[in-house]
Structure 1
Amino acid sequence: MRTALARRTAPLALAAAVAGTLTGAGLTGTALADAPSGAWTATEITGLTAPALYGVTAPGRERAWAVGTQSSASAPLILSYRHGAWTPQAAPAGTAPVLVDVASGGPSNVWAVGQGGGDATAKSLHWNGRAWKAVAYPRTQPMAVSVDSRGKAWSVGSNTDGSGAGVFRRTGGTWTDKGLALTGGGMLDALAARTPKDVWAGGLGSSGDGLWHYDGTAWTQMDIPGDWPHWVLQIVALSPKDVWFYTLPQDPLFSGPDLVHWDGTAFTVTKTPSPYGQVRTFAQDVGFLGDIASDGRGGVWLQDSRTAYYRHFDGTAWTDVPRPGGGTGGAPQVYDLAQAGRTASVWGVGPGAGDRLLIDRFR
């Protein structure tokens, strides 16, 4: 559901701080709304060495999984939330050392994908309610995973050299190619499989916007309004008429990311209020701009990994809510957000600072 950590670089233009709200082609000033009811809290996870989390999923309010890496990116990390506490789970032998994404179709159907460790390393894992099982993966570099309404896993991945990007669905005990193959510098890194006939894939296109929709038969490249192609970083699909995208327009001045909404007929583009005054010519991974998640009430939560705020968008205006503790030392980083089932509760995870790891939650 989210954009996974990418072990490759992608060129960006020079950064310039831009604030405001962009809807369609018009620019207006940023408005602030009242803060949503509830509060963000942080839980400190101890007993780990150099931990980092890159993905989180929550099929319900009291069940969740978070995945990443530990021991300086040399071993996989899986944390399970149950009975109000986070505890480590054992990964199968040979699992890729950096788990980059996780998705669930229920508490007994959880999928994770990972990178690194060589071609023979297990790149995908499945939790059946009792244990994790290593599953062979068709590419050397998985990027994201999602589970559709029938409980089938989907994934986007490529080869380590950047070739062969494609979309795959778990069918008949194997990963099946679903017919979207990008060449010429294209990259797939985001995925949301709502149903087998309603799937969104995002990334960086070799031409046009990096967004494709699958209707069960064929893929269609979508056109987001704007003067510059959009690099699609994150996708949250709630219904055929309610889909959110976190994108980065490839404009020469790097005006910063957009929040894009699809209502089943058209796209609405809103500029995020986060400051982007740093000069940055390369992004080392596509988790560098954080993530989005549904708030369960028609709006969206955003954490941009640049400020000590969670930003909330209610469809009209933005609210800044301080991150508990101000982050894990230095610049706060949150690489993934996940709504807990269909509730208003949201989880946030990211890299730790040294051996200190925080997991945030709104409720």
Structure 2
Amino acid sequence: MRTAVARRTAPFALAVAAVTAAGAGMTGTALADAPPGAWTATEITGLTAPALYGVTAPDRAHAWAVGTQSSSSAPLILSYRHGAWTQQAAPAGTAPELVDVASGGPSNVWAVGQGGGDATAKSLHWNGRAWKAVAYPLPLAMAVSVDSRGKAWSIGSNTDGSGAAVFRRTGGAWTDKGFALPDRGVVDALAARTPKDVWVGGATSSSADGLWHYDGTSWTQMDIPGNWPQWVLQIVALSPKDVWFYTIPQDPLFSGPDLVHWDGTAFTVTKTPSPSAKVGTYAQDVGFLGDIASDGRGGIWLQDSRTAYYRHFDGTAWTDVPRPANDLGGWPQVYDLAQVGRTQSVWGVGPGAGDRLLIDRFH
């Protein structure tokens, strides 16, 4: 799942940077053939200062995107059915910034939110007919995922980032699964493939990588090869031997994000194609670094929110695929990508401009 809203403001020194990446990742990068298909964009109007932070699509006929509107004062839920996006009403008291969404099918969708004080609903469930507010055990919901048995998992913490915990929805309640940070840090990414195969990502304040795996019994901190600790931003878990991670090495010159793959035995690290441009204060908006999603055929899509291209990685080489043209004078950031079911189609969402919002799709 993606890195969103409050997760964009990390509470420790390792996240503070405003540097220049001098040509990182592009030298000698081979380009593969583009995958069949094209990216198109759907424009949605009639909203006020909208932004989408999460998207999920259990199949071709259904998708949900969540975020905020009205200058982050009201939640935003969009539903895709019959080839069109429409707005859905959120339950009263819903947190104004919905930061993540996941689904186990068209009648089992979960969203989590932030902001609005302790009394607001921090988690929501769609049962195929309506959204229902669900009490959340901690003030700050960070991410949500749905496992193979249709049970929701979520990361939460206190508002100061302390007390991070991982929960599973069991017996009508959020159950603590015994995760504990070894030191001060932030946990921001979650992928629950099965009840015995769960990945959690983030960053620690020590030299350790921010990656943990749950086997159904206990948590193990994983070590990604490299000279610097990795901040894990995004996780795509396809099988026990096929897991992808979008990470930031915490080196002082900011060499740029990495794409990391787990084959069930070892990690492989690939530098992403980063433009030769000033990165800026990325610590205040980690969503600026974009997201990854499976392409449905063994590769990965990446949108780094800094270029007019979607990046495609086939396991060996990168391809630049143009983003859809628009008249906004630039390309909106992309905060979340989601594979459509088990197909080769992908949705992409991010913030809008004025009363307009663009939702990208590859198919």
Question: TM-score by structure 1 length?
Answer: 0.95
Which residue of structure 1 aligns with residue 293 of structure 2? 293
* 2:20 maps to 1:15: yes
Question: How far did 1:198 drift?
Answer: 0.1
Map of 1:43 onto structure 2:
42
Which secondary structure state, in structure 1, belongs to the residue aligned with residue 325 of structure 2?
helix
8 Å CA contact 1:13–1:252 kept in 2: the answer is no
Q: Is the 8 A contact 1:235 1:246 kept in 2?
A: yes
Residue 192 of structure 2 is aligned to residue 187 of structure 1:
no
Residue 310 of structure 1: aligned partner: 310
Cα distance between partner residues in 1 of 2:149 and 2:133: 21
- Is residue 4–residue 143 contact of structure 1 (8 Å, CA) maintained in 2? yes
Name the CA distance, whole Å, in 2 between partners of 1:328 and 1:290: 19
Equivalent-residue separation in structure 2 for 1:332 and 1:138 (angstroms): 34
What is the distance in 2 between the residues matched to 1:41 and 1:355?
Answer: 20
Change (3 A) 1:35 1:150: same
Q: Tell me if 1:165 matches 2:164.
A: yes
Q: Report the residue type matching 2:68 in the other structure.
A: T
My pick for the range that moved more, 154-163 or 229-238, is 154-163
C-alpha distance in structure 1 between counterparts of 2:257 and 2:159, whole Å: 26
Contact 1:13–1:253 (Cα < 8 Å) also in 2: no
CA distance in 2, matches of 1:223, 1:86: 41
Q: Residue deviations 1:49-97, cap 9 Å, x none? A: 1110000000001210000001111100000000000000010000000
Question: 2:196 is matched by which residue type in structure 1?
Answer: K
Percent of aligned positions with the same letter in both sequences?
85
**Cα pair distance change 1:330/1:360, threshold 3 Å:** same
Q: Which residue of 2 aligns with 1:277?
A: 277
In 2: Cα distance, 1:49 partner to 1:41 partner: 23
Q: Distance in 2 between matches of 1:197 and 1:117?
A: 34
Deviation at 1:329, TM superposition (A): 4.0
Deviations 1:135-182 (A, max 9, x none): 111111111100000000001121111111111111111111111122
* Pairwise CA distance, 1:17: 2.8
AA at the equivalent of 1:238: L
Unaligned runs of 5+ in 2: none
CA contact under 8 A between 1:292 and 1:303: conserved in structure 2? yes
* Distance (whole Å) between structure 1 residues aligned to residue 276 and residue 220 of structure 2: 32
Q: 1:113 to 1:158 in 2, by over 3 A?
A: same
Residue aligning to 1:252: 252
- Post-superposition offset of 1:331: 5.0
Contact preservation (8 Å) 1:123, 1:142? yes
Query: Hey, what does 1:25 align to over in structure 2?
Result: none
Q: Is the 8 A contact 1:165 1:188 kept in 2?
A: yes
Alignment: residue pair count: 357
Does the 8 Å CA contact 1:59/1:105 hold for their aligned counterparts? yes
* Equivalence for 1:243: 243
| Superposed CA offset, 1:260-317 (max 9, x none) | 0000000000000021531535511332211000000100000011111100000011
Letter in 2 for 1:270: T
Matched-pair contact (CA < 8 Å) for 2:95–2:121: yes
Q: Distance in 2 between matches of 1:2 and 1:195?
A: 19
Measured in 2, the distance between the counterparts of 1:111 and 1:18 equals 40
Moved more, 321-330 or 353-362: 321-330
| Number of the residue aligned with 1:336 | 336
Secondary structure of 1:288 counterpart:
helix
> 2:197 maps to which residue?
198
Q: 1:24 maps to which residue?
A: none
How far residue 183 of structure 1 moved from its aligned partner, in angstroms, is 5.7
1:218/1:18 CA distance change after superposition, 3 Å = farther
Aligned counterpart, 1:262: 262
Q: Give 3-state SS (helix, strand or coil) of 1:325's partner.
A: coil
Q: Report what 1:362 is aligned to.
A: 362
- C-alpha contact (below 8 Å) 2:288/2:335 kept by paired residues: yes
Deviations 1:86-118 (A, max 9, x none): 000010000000000000000000000001000
Change (3 A) 1:184 1:353: same
Which SS does the other structure have where 2:193 is aligned?
strand
- d(CA) in 1 for partners of 2:18, 2:177: 33
Taking only aligned residues, the RMSD between alpha carbons, in angstroms, comes to: 1.5
User: Does the CA-based 8 Å contact 2:211-2:232 persist in structure 1?
Assistant: yes
Asked if structure 1 preserves the Cα contact closer than 8 Å seen for 2:25 and 2:274, the reply is no
For the residue of structure 1 that corresponds to 2:224, the secondary structure is coil
How far the C-alpha of 1:14 sits from its partner, in A, is 2.7
Offset of residue 328 of structure 1: 4.7
Closer, same or farther: CA 220–183 of 1 in aligned 2, 3 Å: closer
CA contact (8 A) 1:347 1:359 kept: yes
The answer to whether the 8 A contact 2:25-2:256 is kept is no
1:153 maps to 152
SS in 2 for 1:355: coil
Structure 2 partner of 1:115 = 114
The 3-state SS of whatever aligns with 2:288 is coil
C-alpha contact (below 8 Å) 2:282/2:288 kept by paired residues = no
